[in-house]
């Protein structure tokens, strides 16, 4: 379609501005707001719009009924030269209300004041009842063609590229809660396919708390803060949560995943995603298979340590959001492969004895390998959080031809819930017309009117059959790629409120998960249960959950019981014989370190030539170097990004020490003199905050490198010669070894394993 004239003008202005600003002004580390550094003085000359940041995207410009408009995405912003009312009348003043004289009362006549304040008063919409806290990004999905054999979905044909928008989220917390809390993460993807939008509304945990949607309000009410005091925020470490999951034992499988390192991801970029339910794929001939969807991150699955997660929650509550956006800005585009496990579509809907309709069960990858069918790359950040991330509306019923649902009772309930919730959250039934939700396929529905109707529908006959609109729109057949509900046979059966008997096994896969963990991961799980139950007030709840753990594993139960100071109960069900699934463990492989943060400590004595080179090499490896010095400004022309006051170990994946900075004037003494000798820090000649940085990085099993004077910091922190602490003659030599070690994510040898 030809671009319209005004759109072309906007495009020209923007392109000219982009050229003018150019790359030169892009900050060298990601995160700065705006595409150009602001001037010191307030600007006074009106001018054309500034370009967006290079990494920012925006929803495609489509009409509310899915047609391309040809207008550049950038035309959406309100960035013109002159301030106007919402109706476009230019304004002379927006700083003073209209008064009867400078000291007089404000006049009711002031339509600008009223418009401004009224609009402000209504800026908030209800947050999502679950998954309120999230971060989104734009990207593309390219199909490998491997799914062509089992589905007719056009977007899965070889080489087909489809625009996507992904929103990651936590589940329990409010919109303003911290990113690094222990919780399940959402991983929802909107594929704008030309056969209709496909939403894969997934989580980072492959099983769910409940087997039937009717229990969803129960589990969420139990997980949300207590209704009387509204505490605690964004966490499961409280009585109502453990009360519910210890009584409703089908939740135990999901719960152990939450208590594992999966509950505290290092980054959205290092999470797997799972469709959870079994879906059905349909090929051109109508043949069907059952599938489970998996997202596999290119960077591997990695987590924070518990202490890191706690510290980050205070120091940088936006850690995951920032990490996602900074990585995209730095060009370290997050990538995942979409994969499917494929099962024959038999009447039993069971594979290797596992009921495929039970969303509290996985099928281990060793039994049904995950077959890669395409690649997702996130390469643009949103331009406007509210318009895109907040207003995006996912729905498990947004299915293209070739993908269908199964009778999983959890999925069936979700098919109702995702439309229903938007009616309140987005204020009416027309939310698919909001820019981020607009399909990239032609929309010819007969839905009309309603709040916030954006489409100007043509025609006089929004009903079928009609003759007044020439019979349009007509139902599509197979040749026109219609979505066909798979004619699955439903067994003749009485109406019941019941579940299949196979759904009653609540423990065998919990044990399978536990047995699949490495010793260090098991230890983390023990500590997580001990912490969470330790935060409960009521003894009965702790004892009841211990009873559940006794049915999973005696070591797990005994260790948690010891931490809680409670007796160890005996199992009430026989312990299942399970075959561990090594694919469930996060430890033991090597992965790329793209987009990781490397802190470099410098002082005036450091070999600054070396620092320049190391910084260049960190960038070249797709990571981000952040220089840490005693105070802000520059060191040898390099910008200091963190000072001793603002830099904290948890921000970095590895720390490099190019200097041994002496205590700066703003350093607090390590300990009160009355407390006697201050141990290593007492006689320290290094700034105590840098010693803390190294101690924490060591405790969190991160790689630490030092050369030249930097080695002195290692000595004073008492970590010289320990695993993962690298020294060498030059920065380049040290960095090469640090990078090699970072591939394993952490220096696991630093965690002595107390469980087998």
Q: Where does this chain touch ligand HDE (CB under 6 A) — which range of 200-208, 611-619, 623-631, 635-643?
A: 200-208
DSSP 640-687: P-EETTT--GGG-SEEEES--PPPPTTPPPSS-GGG---HHHHT--S-
Instruction: By CB under 6 A, tell whether 251 contacts ligand HDE.
Output: no
Point out the catalytic residue in the list 112, 138, 203, 430: 203
Tell me which residue has tokens 């989104």.
Answer: 136
Among 8, 69, 79, 417, binds ligand HDE (CB under 6 A): 417
Instruction: By CB under 6 A, tell whether 130 contacts ligand HDE.
Output: yes
Instruction: By CB under 6 A, tell whether 208 contacts ligand HDE.
Output: yes
Among 410, 536, 541, 657, binds ligand HDE (CB under 6 A): 410
Between 539-550 and 554-564, two packed helices, what is the crossing angle to 10 degrees? 160
Minimum separation from the CB atom of position 405 to ligand HDE (A): 12
Instruction: By CB under 6 A, tell whether 320 contacts ligand HDE.
Output: no
Minimum separation from the CB atom of position 179 to ligand HDE (A): 14
Instruction: By CB under 6 A, tell whether 188 contacts ligand HDE.
Output: yes
Q: What is the C-alpha to C-alpha distance for residues 142 and 16, in angstroms, rounded to an integer?
A: 32
**In this complex, which beta carbon is closest to ligand HDE, that of residue 130 or of residue 234?**
130
Q: Mask of contacts with ligand HDE, 385-404, x by CB under 6 A?
A: -------xxx----------
Q: Where does this chain touch ligand HDE (CB under 6 A) — which range of 46-54, 100-108, 141-149, 407-415?
A: 407-415
Residues with Cβ within 8 Å of residue 228, at least 6 apart in sequence: none
Minimum separation from the CB atom of position 510 to ligand HDE (A): 17
87 is catalytic: no
Residue of minimal Cβ distance to ligand HDE: 186
Minimum separation from the CB atom of position 340 to ligand HDE (A): 15
Instruction: By CB under 6 A, tell whether 192 contacts ligand HDE.
Output: no
The residues pairing with 703 across neighbouring beta strands, listed in sequence order, are 654
Among 202, 259, 557, 597, binds ligand HDE (CB under 6 A): 202
Instruction: By CB under 6 A, tell whether 407 contacts ligand HDE.
Output: no
Instruction: By CB under 6 A, tell whether 206 contacts ligand HDE.
Output: no
Instruction: By CB under 6 A, tell whether 421 contacts ligand HDE.
Output: yes
Instruction: By CB under 6 A, tell whether 414 contacts ligand HDE.
Output: yes
Neighbours of 689 (CB within 10 A): 23
Which residue blocks in 341-474 are alpha helix, DSSP H? 385, 409-425
For the four alpha carbons of 451, 453, 458 and 463, in that order, the dihedral sign comes to: negative
Q: What is the C-alpha to C-alpha distance for residues 661 and 644, in angstroms, rounded to an integer?
A: 10
Point out the catalytic residue in the list 47, 87, 111, 131: 131
Taking phi first (over 0 means left), then psi (-120 to 50 degrees means alpha), and beta for anything else, what does residue 185 get? beta
Instruction: By CB under 6 A, tell whether 169 contacts ligand HDE.
Output: yes
| Interface of this chain with ligand HDE, residues 260 to 289, rule: CB under 6 A | 276
Q: What is the C-alpha to C-alpha distance for residues 366 and 369, in angstroms, rounded to an integer?
A: 6
379 is catalytic: no
The values of phi and psi at residue 25, to 5°, are: -95, -5
**In this complex, which beta carbon is closest to ligand HDE, that of residue 276 or of residue 528?**
276
Instruction: By CB under 6 A, tell whether 167 contacts ligand HDE.
Output: yes
**In this complex, which beta carbon is closest to ligand HDE, that of residue 398 or of residue 511?**
398
Token readout for 605 is 């004595």
Q: What is the C-alpha to C-alpha distance for residues 100 and 105, in angstroms, rounded to an integer?
A: 6
The two most distant CA atoms of the chain are separated, in Å, by: 95
Cα angle: 502, vertex 511, 567; to 5 degrees: 115
Q: Give the residue from 133, 282, 280, 276 showing the smallest Cα distance to 213.
A: 276
**In this complex, which beta carbon is closest to ligand HDE, that of residue 57 or of residue 688?**
57
Among 18, 29, 129, 575, binds ligand HDE (CB under 6 A): 129
Neighbours of 145 (CB within 10 A): 14
Instruction: By CB under 6 A, tell whether 415 contacts ligand HDE.
Output: no
Token readout for 666 is 């703003």
Q: Where does this chain touch ligand HDE (CB under 6 A) — which range of 251-259, 411-419, 439-447, 734-742?
A: 411-419
722 and 750 in contact (C-beta within 8 Å)?
yes
Among 17, 156, 213, 658, binds ligand HDE (CB under 6 A): 213
Could you tell me whether strands 654-657 and 703-707 are parallel, antiparallel, or unpaired per DSSP bridges?
Answer: parallel
Which residues are near ligand HDE by CB under 6 A?
128-131, 134, 167, 169, 186, 188, 201-203, 208, 213, 216, 276, 392-394, 410, 413-414, 417-418, 421
What are the residue numbers of the active site? 131, 203
């Amino acid at each position: 379609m030809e671009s319209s004239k005004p759109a072309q003008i906007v495009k020209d202005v923007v392109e000219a501005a982009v050229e003018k600003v150019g790359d030169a002004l892009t900050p060298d580390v990601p995160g700065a707001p705006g595409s150009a550094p602001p001037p010191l003085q307030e600007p006074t000359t009106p001018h054309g719009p500034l370009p967006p940041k290079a990494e920012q995207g925006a929803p495609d410009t489509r009409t509310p009924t899915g047609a391309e408009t040809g207008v550049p995405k950038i035309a959406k912003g309100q960035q013109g030269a002159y301030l106007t009312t919402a109706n476009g009348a230019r304004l002379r003043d927006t700083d003073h209300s209209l008064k009867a004289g400078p000291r007089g009362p404000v006049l009711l006549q002031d339509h600008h004041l009223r418009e401004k304040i009224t609009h402000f008063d209504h800026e908030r919409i209800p947050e999502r009842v679950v998954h309120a806290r999230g971060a989104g990004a734009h990207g593309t999905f390219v199909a490998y063609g491997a799914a062509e054999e089992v589905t007719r979905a056009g977007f899965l044909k070889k080489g087909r590229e489809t625009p996507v928008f992904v929103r990651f989220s936590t589940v329990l917390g409010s919109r303003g809660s911290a990113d690094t809390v222990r919780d399940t993460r959402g991983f929802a993807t909107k594929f704008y396919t030309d056969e209709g939008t496909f939403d894969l509304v997934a989580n980072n945990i492959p099983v769910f708390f409940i087997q039937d949607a009717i229990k969803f309000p129960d589990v969420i009410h139990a997980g949300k803060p207590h209704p009387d005091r509204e505490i605690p925020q964004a966490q499961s470490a409280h009585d109502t949560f453990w009360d519910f999951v210890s009584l409703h034992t089908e939740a135990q499988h999901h719960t152990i995943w939450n208590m594992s390192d999966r509950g505290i991801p290092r980054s959205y970029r290092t999470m797997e995603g799972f469709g959870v339910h079994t879906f059905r794929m349909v090929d051109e001939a109508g043949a069907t298979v059952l599938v489970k969807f998996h997202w596999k991150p290119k960077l591997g699955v990695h987590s924070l340590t518990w202490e890191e997660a706690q510290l980050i929650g205070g120091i940088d509550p936006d850690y995951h959001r920032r990490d996602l956006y900074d990585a995209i800005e730095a060009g370290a585009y997050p990538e995942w492969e979409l994969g499917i496990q494929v099962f024959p579509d038999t009447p039993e809907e069971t594979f290797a004895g596992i009921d495929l309709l039970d969303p509290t069960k996985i099928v281990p990858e060793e039994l049904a390998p995950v077959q890669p069918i395409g690649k997702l790359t996130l390469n643009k950040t949103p331009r406007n959080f509210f318009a895109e991330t907040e207003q995006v509306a996912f729905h498990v019923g947004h299915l293209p031809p070739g993908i269908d649902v199964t009778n999983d009772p959890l999925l069936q309930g979700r098919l109702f819930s995702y439309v229903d919730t938007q009616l309140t959250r987005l204020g009416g039934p027309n939310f698919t017309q909001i820019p981020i939700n607009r399909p990239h396929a032609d929309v010819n529905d007969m839905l009309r009117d309603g709040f916030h109707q954006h489409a100007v529908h043509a025609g006089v006959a929004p009903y079928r059959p009609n003759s007044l609109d020439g019979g349009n729109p007509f139902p599509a057949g197979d040749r026109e790629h219609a979505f066909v509900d798979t004619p699955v046979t439903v067994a003749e059966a009485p109406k019941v409120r019941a579940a299949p008997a196979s759904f009653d096994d609540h423990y065998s896969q919990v044990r399978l998960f536990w047995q699949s963990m490495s010793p260090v991961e098991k230890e983390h799980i023990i500590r997580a249960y001990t912490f969470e139950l330790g935060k409960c007030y009521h003894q009965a709840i702790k004892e009841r959950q211990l009873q559940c753990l006794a049915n999973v594993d005696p070591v797990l139960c005994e260790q948690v019981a010891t931490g809680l100071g409670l007796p160890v109960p005996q199992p009430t069900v026989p312990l299942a014989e399970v075959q561990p699934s090594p694919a469930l463990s996060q430890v033991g492989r090597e992965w790329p370190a793209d987009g990781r943060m490397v802190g470099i400590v410098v002082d005036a004595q450091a070999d600054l030539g070396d620092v320049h080179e190391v910084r260049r090499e960190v960038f070249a490896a797709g990571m981000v170097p952040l220089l840490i010095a005693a105070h802000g400004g520059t060191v040898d022309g390099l910008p200091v990004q963190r000072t001793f006051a603002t830099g904290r170990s948890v921000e970095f994946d590895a720390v490099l020490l190019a200097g041994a900075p002496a205590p700066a004037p703003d350093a607090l003494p390590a300990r009160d003199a009355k407390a006697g000798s201050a141990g290593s820090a007492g006689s320290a000649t290094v700034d105590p905050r840098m010693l803390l940085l190294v101690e924490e990085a060591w405790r969190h099993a991160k790689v630490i490198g030092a050369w030249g004077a930097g080695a002195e910091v290692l000595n004073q922190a008492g970590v010289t010669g320990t695993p993962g602490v690298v020294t060498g003659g030059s920065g380049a030599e040290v960095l090469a070894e640090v990078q090699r070690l970072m591939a394993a994510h952490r220096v696991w040898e630093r965690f002595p394993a107390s469980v087998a």
